[in-house]
Amino acid sequence: MASPALSLTQPRPSLIHSEAAAAWLLSAPAIIAFALMVMIPTLAAIVFAFTDYELGSRVIRFIGWANFVELFEDRGFVASIRNTAFFVAVVTPVSLIGGLLIAMLIEAGTRGRAFFRAVYFLPVVSLMVAMATAFQYMYHPTIGPVNALLRQIGVAGPSWLGSSDWVMISLSIVGVWEQIGFNMVLFLAGLTAIPREIYAAAEVDGVRSPWARFWMVTWPLLGPTTLFVLTITMIRSLRVFDIVATLTQGGPNKASEVLLYTMYTEGFTFFRLGYSAAITLVFLIIVLVLMLVQTRILDKRVHYG
């Protein structure tokens, strides 16, 4: 907040009214568009979730929690939750720890910084659908380079995307590949924010080995960054859609159904809008809980740096 003493020209009371009018006028386009495109549709989605609304149906009935009851009895949806959880549980730690390690390696020297940063960041700006088709080729069981390489060392590679045992692992690898560079950049920012004097002071205090230096200085000071990366990676992984839509369409036999893809097929292929809205609501609640947990932890902890 600006202190009143700083404003040389306090607006006269008569001007305050016009200031309010100007403020509303300036915000009006954003407010109207937000109401029409975000707020009302979001509320409508919540209402949909408690109805049996299907596209084209004449009568819409409120059916209470019936959609949610059906969801948790629906084997497809349960598989979808399980697969999404698997994806989040693999991609989050691997891309977080990997991003941190790469950031520390880049930060440890001066050579090749910009170059490596660009290399690792490239997937963030790449059209994911296109890159997914590149992975489709790489993963191809007979002509793909991954299995060709494995054959060279005498290993028969699996059908990466065609086998229900492997498909979520294969998709998770793509997920890590997609997110690691973003996490690396966030950690790089966190690392450069640590003052060098602290390392110098720690060295005076006898913290000499790189291992001790990491656990006693770097890791605690990176706390807020790590928490942020953790939340954002979980939410991004939870939203996995493009690679599933491009590579597997939820198959084989629902082995790669994920939350948003199930929501998409129920809503826009089968037009069961009420049911699909219920999935959307489950998705929204998970996102909100993750964000709430993050702010809770942030509030409780000491802020470093």
Partner 1 sequence: MRGQARSLLADMPRLAVLGLIGLVMLSPYIWMVSASLKPLDELFRATLNLVPQTFHGHVNYGRVFAEVPVVRYILNGIIVCAGILAFQLAFAIPAGYAIAKLRFRGRDTLFAFVMLGLLVPAHVPALPLYVAFAQIGILNTYAALIAPFVSSVFAVFMFRQFFRSIPDDLINAARVDGMTEASIVWRVVLPNAWPAATAFAIFSVVAHWNDLFWPLIVVNGHSVATPALGILYFRTEEAGDDFGALMAAAVIMTTPLVAAFLLAQRRFIEGITMTGLKG
Q: Scanning residues 93 to 132, which ones bind partner 1 (CB under 8 A)?
A: 102, 105-112, 114, 116-131
Look up residue 193 and give its DSSP letter.
T
Q: Which two tokens stand for residue 59?
A: 């009568």
Number of residues that bind partner 1 (CB under 8 A): 102
Q: Does residue 88 bind partner 1 (CB under 8 A)?
A: no
End-to-end CA distance of the chain: 22
What single letter denotes the amino acid at residue 301?
R
Site for partner 1 in 33-52 (CB under 8 A): 33-34, 37-42, 44-45, 48
Tell the smallest beta-carbon distance from residue 182 to partner 1 (Å).
Answer: 7
- Which range in 28-36, 57-65, 89-97, 153-161 contacts partner 1 by CB under 8 A? 28-36
Nearer to partner 1, 48 or 168 (CB): 48
To partner 1, the closest distance from the beta carbon of 277 in angstroms equals 5
Whether residue 198 contacts residue 217, with contact meaning beta carbons closer than 8 Å, is answered with yes
Q: Could you say which residues in the range 135-174 bind partner 1, by CB under 8 A?
A: 135, 137-138, 140, 142-145, 147-149, 152
- Is residue 236 within 8 A of residue 179, CB to CB? The reply is yes
Q: How many residues does the chain have?
A: 305
Q: How far is the CB of 296 from partner 1 (least distance, A)?
A: 14
Q: How far is CA 39 from CA 25, 32, 43, 240, in A?
A: 20, 10, 6, 23
Residue 263 as a binder of partner 1 (CB under 8 A): the answer is yes
Which residue, 50 or 182, is less far from partner 1 as judged by CB? 182
Residues 274-303 that bind partner 1 (CB under 8 A): 276-277, 280, 283-284, 287-288, 291
Amino acid identity, position 271: F
Q: Measured from the CB of residue 227, what is the shortest distance to partner 1 in angstroms?
A: 13
C-beta atoms surrounding 113 within 10 Å: 12
Whether the Cβ atoms of residue 63 and residue 289 lie closer than 8 Å to each other: no
**Which tokens in the block code for residue 2?**
């600006």
